[in-house]
Amino acid sequence: MALTVAVSQSCGMCFGGKQLRCAIILKAGRGCRNVLGTNMRFSNLLLPKIPKICSRSKHKYAECMLKLVEPYDESSIPQPKLLKKASVVMGYDSLNDLFKYGRADKDAMDDFDISLACKRFPCITLGSSPPVGLYDETKAGGSEMKSLLADQSCEAVVSNSMDAELRVDRFGLSEAWPSLYPALPNESSTSSEVGSLPSEAPIEPLLDKCISCVPGLSKRLYHQLENCGFYTLRKLLHHFPRTYADLQNAQIDLDDGQYFIFIGEIISSRGMKAGCSFSFLEVIVGCEIADTETTSGDEVVNIDSGQKKKIYLHLKKFFRGTRFTSIPFLKSIEGKHKVGEFVCVSGKVRAMRSNNHYEMREYNIDVLKDEDDLSLRAKGRPYPIYPSKGGLNASLLRDTIARALQALPANFDPVPKEITQEFGLLCLFDAYMGIHQPKHIDEADLARKRLIFDEFFYLQLGRLYQMLEGLGTQFEKEGLLDKYRKPRLNAAYMEGWSSLTKKLLRALPYSLTSSQLSAISEIIWDLKQPVPMNRLLQGDVGCGKTVVAFLACMEVIGSGYQAAFMVPTELLATQHYEHLLKLLDNMEEDEHKPKIALLTGSTPDLQTGDITLVIGTHSLIAEKVEFSALRLAIVDEQQRFGMAMVNSDGSPKDDQHMAPHVLAMSATPIPRTLALALYGDMSLTQITDLPPGRIPIKTYIIEGNEKGYENVYKMMLDELQSGGKVYLVYPVIEQSEQLPQLRAAASDLETISQRFQDYSCGLLHGKMKSDEKDEALRRFRSGETHILLSTQVIEIGVDVPDASMMIVMNAERFGIAQLHQLRGRVGRGVRKSQCILVASSTSSLSRLKVLEKSSDGFYLANMDLLLRGPGDLLGKKQSGHLPEFPVARLEIDGNILQEAHMAALRSWDKSVPKFNVGGTQSGQDWCDIEDSAPLVRISLSN
C-alpha cells in the first residue's frame, strides 16, 4: 500500500552502544517531542491504523485511494490529493505534516523492516494483494447494521480514530472492559481471514460509515459534502455549532463593536454597482428589540411583555473586480436573500448616523424555517449557529446534520457504561443530540463535556498502550502496571543508596531540601526497578534540580553503569561539567571517583567504560557516540531540543540489555493539564520548595520611555555601587530596520559601556562561538565584568549565584513563563535581587503585571496557558506534538483531561483506585487524583 512509503524505521530498536538513542526513542514513544519528528509521529499513527484500513474491506475510499495511486510509481504520487483521502480514511486531519517527501522517503523505505510490520499486522499482505475496501457496505449497512446496533454488542463499537490501537489486547484488557474490546482478530490469523468473516471481524465503527447512509441525501449534495471533506458520518457530526443563539433574549444596549445575535425579517436586498470595479450587497433586516428607554436598568427584559423598538441592520458585503459589477451577478447575489424571510443574524454591529440603524460587515445569516425554527423560538431552545465550510452554508449544514442524527441508533455508545456512569457522562448518542439540537443550554454543555472526554480518553488510552508496547518483557509490563495498582509513594531511603551517592551527598556544601530528598529517593527507587524509568523532574527555576540529577547519576555509576547528561546548550554543558568537577573535588578520597567528561570533538572512546558520566548537548545522540553500559539518560530542558524521538519496538529481553532509564528535567512548570496531554504516561516528580535563605526577587514593571529608562539606569547604578552584578536581556542581537523599536544587545554595548564607565561590560549571544560564550560567562561569574548584555541564551540553567539584578528590554516580546525563567537567573544566592521588566508601550504593562504579583512558576505557567494557549507556551516544536483537539481547549478543560486520564488507567486495570476529585488527602500537599498513578505521584514538601 502506498501509505507504507513513509512507515519509518521506527520498528527498529537500538541496543547496546546506542542505548542513549534508545532511551530517547522510548520517551518519544510515550508522547514527548521527537528527534525525527515526522517519522515518529507518522509511524505512531500509521502503524496501528494499518490493520484498520486493511480490514475495512471494500471501503470505497480505500478503493479510490488505491485507484488514485495505481497509475503512479512511488515517486510521482500526487501527494496532496492522496494525503487528503488517506487522512479521511485514517480519521486524522494533519497527515500532511507527517509525511516525508522526496529522497528521505526512499531512505526510510529502505530502512523500514517490512517483515516486522507484517508480523505485527497479519492483515498486511505485500506484493500483489488485490485492492481491499474498508467494509462491505451491502452487508454492514442498512438494516443489518441497525440490527447489529440494536444488539448489546453495538456498544463494542470503538468509534474513535484510535480504536485500532485498542484492539490489540495484550494485557488482558478485554477481560477488564469487554465492551471496549470487540471480538479481536487473532493476531496469528492470516490476511485472508480478516475481512472475510464479517461476523467475527470487529464491528465496523458506525461513525466511520460513508455519509451516503444519511437519509434523504441527494447525489448532488452528497458530492458537495464530499468535496468539503465530509466523507464520513463522524466528520459531519463533528462539525459543531460555533455558538448558540438565545432567540428569546432580545438585545438591549447595543454597543458599537460588540457581537450580537438578532432575529428579524429581511426588508430589502440590493446588489449595487458602486464604481467600474466595485460593487456591494446590502441586506436590510428589521428586528424588534427591548427598548432600554422604557426599561429600567435592573429589570429582566422579556421581549414578549416589555416595550419594544424596531432597529434596522444593514448587512454589507463588498466585491472588488469588474466581473462583480455585472447586472447578472448583482441580481444573483440580491436573489439569495428574499424579502420577508425570517433570519437569525450574528455579527459585529456599528452604529450608523441615523437612529436605530446599525451596520454589520462581519456577519452570519441563517434563514429560519417558519415552522421548525420559529417553534424553537417559542420553546426557548438555544439555536445552533454553524460555521459554513467550503461553500456549504450554515443552514444547509444544519439540515444535513439533523438528518445524520436520525441515522444514529438511540443509546449508541462505544464507551463502556461503567466509565460513563462513574464519570457522570452522557451517552454518545445523547452527546451528539445535545451538541447539535440542545433543548437547553445546559444540555449543550454536558454534551460538550462528553465529546471532550472522548478526545482525551482515547488519547490517554493510546499513550498507555504505547508505553506498555515500548516495554520489552512481560515482566517489565507487569512491573509497570503494578505501579498503577498499588497506591503508595515509592521511595528508596538513604540506607539503600549506593556508597558513591552518599559520598557525593556528603560533599555538597549544603543540605538537600526535603523536596530534593523525596525527589532523589523516588528516582533511586525507580532506578532499582527492572522497568526502565521514564520520569519528569519538574521544579521552579533555581530549586536545585541539577544536584538531584547528579545524585541519580552517581547511583547508576555506583552500580557499575554509565550515565549521560544531555543539555540544550554548550554553555550549560560546560557549567554542569565544571559544577560537578568541583563537587567531586570536595568528595572524600576515593580511588574509584567517577571519571566524567564533557562531550567535545575529542572525547575519548566511551565504549571502554572508562568514562562513567558524559555531559554534552544533543551531539550525545550522534551515531558515532557509543556507550558500553549506559543505564541512565538525563535530558535537561528537553522541550528546548528541536529533536524527536522514534518509537521503539521489540524491546530487549534481559536486564543486561534493559533500555536505559530516562530522567527528563524541566524548569518550565508545565501546567498539569499540559503535562498530562504531553506525557500522559510519564511519572512526575516535582520539587516544590526552594533552598533556604533565598530572598524573594522584587519585580518592577516600567514603561520604556525616556523617564522610564532614566529610572532604570539609576536603579542599575545603585545596584552596581553596592557590589551587585547586572544582566541586561535583549530580544535581539542587532538592531534591525524592520523592528527599530527593539533594543539590541550588540548595538547597546557601546551606549551602556559609556554610561557606566566605571564598570566593565560583557556581551553574550547565540551567534558567538562556544568558547567566546564560555569566556563571557566565566568573566561575569568571576566578577571581571559587572554588566552582562545578553540575549535570551541565558534563559536556561545559567547559574551565577551572586548576580543580583536583571533588566529585560522590550519585555512584552517574551512570554510570561519565559520571563519567569529569565527572572530565575537572579536571586539564586543570598543577595537581595531585583528584576526590572521594561515594556515598550503602556498597553503591554497590564499583561506583565502578573509577574509583579506572583513568583509562583506554576501559577504563571497557567496564566500563560490561559493568555497565549498551549502552542505559545510550549514553543513551536513541543506544541507540534500536542494532538489536535477539535472541541477541547486545554487551557480550560484540564479537569476533564484528568478524569479521562483516570478513566484510561482504570480501563487498563480495574484495581486502580477510583477517581477522587478535589479532595486533598490528609497530610499531603495536594492531590486531586489519588496518588496511585505514577503521573500524579508527587513529591511532598514535608
Ligand X SMILES: Nc1ncnc2c1ncn2[C@@H]1O[C@H](COP(=O)(O)OP(=O)(O)OP(=O)(O)O)[C@@H](O)[C@H]1O
**One-letter identity of residue 109:** M
Q: Which residues contact 126 (CB under 8 A, 6 or more apart)?
A: 114, 118
Indicate the residue among 541 and 644 with the shorter CB distance to ligand X. Answer: 541
| Binding flag, residue 72, ligand X (CB under 6 A) | no
Query: From its phi and psi, is residue 207 left (phi > 0), alpha (psi between -120 and 50) or beta?
Result: alpha
Tallying the residues shown for the chain, one arrives at: 942
Question: Candidates 262-270, 463-471, 535-543, 580-588 — which segment interacts with ligand X by CB under 6 A?
Answer: 535-543
Indicate the residue among 78 and 801 with the shorter CB distance to ligand X. Answer: 801
* DSSP secondary structure letters along 532-589: PPEEEEEE-TTS-HHHHHHHHHHHHHHTT-EEEEE-S-HHHHHHHHHHHHHHHHHSPP
State the first-to-last Cα distance of the chain, in angstroms, to the nearest integer.
Answer: 57
Distance of CA 693 to the CA centre of its chain: 37
Indicate the residue among 455 and 799 with the shorter CB distance to ligand X. Answer: 799
- Other C-beta atoms lying within 10 Å of the C-beta of residue 428: 25
Indicate the residue among 504 and 667 with the shorter CB distance to ligand X. Answer: 667
Indicate the residue among 43 and 791 with the shorter CB distance to ligand X. Answer: 791
Indicate the residue among 160 and 516 with the shorter CB distance to ligand X. Answer: 516
Indicate the residue among 235 and 828 with the shorter CB distance to ligand X. Answer: 828
Distance, in Å, from the CA atom of 716 to the CA atom of 727, rounded to the nearest integer, reads: 10
Give me the half-sphere count of Cα atoms (radius 13 Å) on the Cβ side of residue 78.
11
Of the candidate residues 347, 824, 827, 934, the single one contacting ligand X (CB under 6 A):
824
Q: Residue 70 corresponds to which cell in the numbers above? A: 495505481
| Binding flag, residue 539, ligand X (CB under 6 A) | yes
Of the candidate residues 413, 526, 774, 799, the single one contacting ligand X (CB under 6 A):
799
Distance, in Å, from the CA atom of 112 to the CA atom of 294, rounded to the nearest integer, reads: 76
Question: Candidates 135-143, 509-517, 670-678, 767-775 — which segment interacts with ligand X by CB under 6 A?
Answer: 509-517
The C-alpha angle with vertex 890 and arms to 887 and 895, in degrees rounded to 5, equals 100
Smallest gap from residue 510 Cβ to ligand X (A): 4
- The site map against ligand X for 688-707 (x = CB under 6 A) is ---x----------------
Distance, in Å, from the CA atom of 344 to the CA atom of 324, rounded to the nearest integer, reads: 26
* DSSP secondary structure letters along 4-72: GGG--GGG----GGGHHHHHHHHHHHTT---TTTHHHHHHHHHHHHHHHHHHSBT-HHHHHHHHHHTTS
**One-letter identity of residue 540:** D
Question: Candidates 301-309, 508-516, 611-619, 704-712 — which segment interacts with ligand X by CB under 6 A?
Answer: 508-516
Smallest gap from residue 62 Cβ to ligand X (A): 50
Smallest gap from residue 727 Cβ to ligand X (A): 13
Tracing cell 512570554 back to the chain, one arrives at 815
Distance, in Å, from the CA atom of 742 to the CA atom of 713, rounded to the nearest integer, reads: 18
Distance, in Å, from the CA atom of 939 to the CA atom of 922, rounded to the nearest integer, reads: 15
- Other C-beta atoms lying within 10 Å of the C-beta of residue 256: 9
Q: Which residues of 522-550 are buried (b: 16+ CB within 10 A; e: fewer)?
A: bbbbbbebebbbbbbbbbbbbbbbbbbbb
Indicate the residue among 546 and 804 with the shorter CB distance to ligand X. Answer: 546
Smallest gap from residue 235 Cβ to ligand X (A): 44
Indicate the residue among 156 and 547 with the shorter CB distance to ligand X. Answer: 547
Question: Candidates 158-166, 291-299, 542-550, 600-608 — which segment interacts with ligand X by CB under 6 A?
Answer: 542-550
Of the candidate residues 541, 573, 633, 777, the single one contacting ligand X (CB under 6 A):
541
Smallest gap from residue 107 Cβ to ligand X (A): 37
Query: Residue 296 phi/psi, 5° resolution?
Result: -75, 150
Q: Which residues contact 584 (CB under 8 A, 6 or more apart)?
A: 504, 507, 593, 594, 596
Smallest gap from residue 51 Cβ to ligand X (A): 44
Indicate the residue among 542 and 724 with the shorter CB distance to ligand X. Answer: 542
Smallest gap from residue 416 Cβ to ligand X (A): 43
| Binding flag, residue 542, ligand X (CB under 6 A) | yes
Indicate the residue among 232 and 516 with the shorter CB distance to ligand X. Answer: 516
Question: Candidates 201-209, 540-548, 871-879, 900-908 — which segment interacts with ligand X by CB under 6 A?
Answer: 540-548
Indicate the residue among 512 and 584 with the shorter CB distance to ligand X. Answer: 512
Question: Candidates 206-214, 239-247, 505-513, 834-842 — which segment interacts with ligand X by CB under 6 A?
Answer: 505-513
Indicate the residue among 10 and 515 with the shorter CB distance to ligand X. Answer: 515
Q: Which residues contact 606 (CB under 8 A, 6 or more apart)?
A: 562, 597, 614, 625, 626, 627, 628
Of the candidate residues 168, 659, 667, 902, the single one contacting ligand X (CB under 6 A):
667
290-309: which residues touch ligand X (CB under 6 A)? none
Own/partner pairs for 374-382, CB < 8 Å, 24+ apart? 374/342, 376/247, 377/247, 377/248, 377/263, 379/439, 380/246, 380/247, 380/248, 381/247, 381/437, 381/438, 381/439, 381/440, 382/244, 382/245, 382/246, 382/438, 382/440, 382/441, 382/444
- Per DSSP, what are the bridge partners of residue 808? 729, 837
Question: Candidates 59-67, 180-188, 537-545, 656-664 — which segment interacts with ligand X by CB under 6 A?
Answer: 537-545
Of the candidate residues 22, 23, 47, 512, the single one contacting ligand X (CB under 6 A):
512
Question: Candidates 114-122, 327-335, 539-547, 879-887 — which segment interacts with ligand X by CB under 6 A?
Answer: 539-547
Strand residues in 152-258 grouped as ranges (E): 243-246
Distance of CA 275 to the CA centre of its chain: 49
Of the candidate residues 269, 466, 513, 699, the single one contacting ligand X (CB under 6 A):
513
Smallest gap from residue 665 Cβ to ligand X (A): 7
Distance, in Å, from the CA atom of 835 to the CA atom of 716, rounded to the nearest integer, reads: 10
Smallest gap from residue 252 Cβ to ligand X (A): 53
- The site map against ligand X for 543-582 (x = CB under 6 A) is xxxxx-----------------------------------
Q: Give the number of residues in contact with ligand X, rule: CB under 6 A.
A: 19
Among 59, 58, 45, 64, smallest CA distance to 7 is for 45
Of the candidate residues 15, 318, 510, 926, the single one contacting ligand X (CB under 6 A):
510
Smallest gap from residue 497 Cβ to ligand X (A): 17
Of the candidate residues 167, 503, 661, 828, the single one contacting ligand X (CB under 6 A):
828
With residue 763 as reference, give the H or E element that holds it: strand 761-764
| Binding flag, residue 801, ligand X (CB under 6 A) | yes
Smallest gap from residue 625 Cβ to ligand X (A): 24
Indicate the residue among 665 and 728 with the shorter CB distance to ligand X. Answer: 665
Indicate the residue among 5 and 687 with the shorter CB distance to ligand X. Answer: 687
Indicate the residue among 432 and 550 with the shorter CB distance to ligand X. Answer: 550
Smallest gap from residue 253 Cβ to ligand X (A): 50
Smallest gap from residue 863 Cβ to ligand X (A): 19
108 neighbors 74 (Cβ within 8 angstroms): no
SS3 content of the chain, % helix, strand, coil (to 5): 45, 15, 40
Smallest gap from residue 551 Cβ to ligand X (A): 11
Indicate the residue among 22 and 505 with the shorter CB distance to ligand X. Answer: 505
Indicate the residue among 398 and 828 with the shorter CB distance to ligand X. Answer: 828
| Binding flag, residue 365, ligand X (CB under 6 A) | no
Q: Provide the greatest CA pair distance for the chain.
A: 96
Distance of CA 64 to the CA centre of its chain: 33
Smallest gap from residue 874 Cβ to ligand X (A): 17
Positions touching ligand X (CB under 6 A) are 510, 512-513, 516, 539, 541-547, 667, 691, 797, 799, 801, 824, 828
